[in-house]
Amino acid sequence: MKPPFDLETTDRLLTTTRAVRRRLDMRRPVSRELILDCIAIAQQAPTGSNSQSWRWVVVSHPSTRSEIASIYARGRDAVEALRAETTGQTRRVYDSAAWLVDHLAEAPIFVIPCVVGRPPSEFSAVLHGTCYGSILPAVWSFQLALRARGLGSVLTTMHLIWEREVADLLGIPDDVLQVGLLPVAYTVGDDFKPAKRPPAASITHLDRWNDESPT
């Protein structure tokens, strides 16, 4: 039976939506309408109890982006330290992450996904899981929608160390939890490739957790 979607295109979208940093085209403007279109697609993502308690803060003003980027750059030493102790694929990721620290402000749009209702720290894992699980699928849908339109992004979380300062800068209320920051821009070219990953069977336990299942 014919699948309901064109699998070649669908699978290419799902396997080539990468964390884009150096290939963000910092000079090309991005319209707010396009961002809203992608947020509208992201709103179709699942949420616990159908809460739909997401909010999206879209920042385009250059001076605000610079202020946020200078807060983000406080993490430079931590990124450098991690970079120094890694090799291979992960080393390349940290090379790219270190580059972003110095260039974040140049991205034409920042998108900060948030959830209304910050879970108190004493809440159980299920409530924390439900909270993050009610926004991160939407974030990924947002990134896929961007990629389908020739734009790229990378989910970053480093600024959350100083979440309160960014909240004050943007007027985000205390009970609203930021979950990340995505610099968004058109990409330079669109020939992204699937990343190298181990075979699915090697990370999958069949029927029950045991050492024999993964191959």
Ligand X SMILES: Cc1cc2nc3c(=O)[nH]c(=O)nc-3n(C[C@H](O)[C@H](O)[C@H](O)COP(=O)(O)O)c2cc1C
Say whether residue 158 binds ligand X (CB under 6 A): yes
Residue 1 Cβ vs ligand X, minimum distance, rounded to whole Å: 32
| Cα dihedral sign, 178-180-185-190 | negative
Out of 12, 16, 18, 53, the only residue in the binding site for ligand X (CB under 6 A) is: 18
Q: In terms of CB distance, is 32 or 76 closer to ligand X?
A: 76
Residue 152 tokens read as 């790229």
Tell me the backbone φ, ψ of residue 126, rounded to 5 degrees: -65, -40
Say whether residue 155 binds ligand X (CB under 6 A): yes
Number of residues that bind ligand X (CB under 6 A): 11
Residue 206 Cβ vs ligand X, minimum distance, rounded to whole Å: 26
Q: How far apart are CA 46 and CA 103, in angstroms?
A: 33
Neighbours of 14 (CB within 10 A): 12
Out of 47, 156, 178, 187, the only residue in the binding site for ligand X (CB under 6 A) is: 156
Q: In terms of CB distance, is 97 or 138 closer to ligand X?
A: 97
Say whether residue 97 binds ligand X (CB under 6 A): yes
Q: Are 108 and 47 in contact (CB under 8 A)?
A: no
Q: In terms of CB distance, is 58 or 160 closer to ligand X?
A: 160
Out of 73, 93, 144, 188, the only residue in the binding site for ligand X (CB under 6 A) is: 93
Q: Are 76 and 57 in contact (CB under 8 A)?
A: no
Q: Are 150 and 186 in contact (CB under 8 A)?
A: yes
Q: How far apart are CA 203 and CA 78, in angstroms?
A: 29
DSSP letter assigned to residue 194? P
Q: In terms of CB distance, is 4 or 88 closer to ligand X?
A: 88
Span near ligand X by CB under 6 A; candidates 41-49, 125-133, 156-164, 201-209: 156-164
Residue 186 Cβ vs ligand X, minimum distance, rounded to whole Å: 17
Strands (E), 36-170: 54-59, 109-116, 151-153
Which residues contact ligand X by CB under 6 A? Answer: 18-19, 93, 97, 100, 154-158, 195
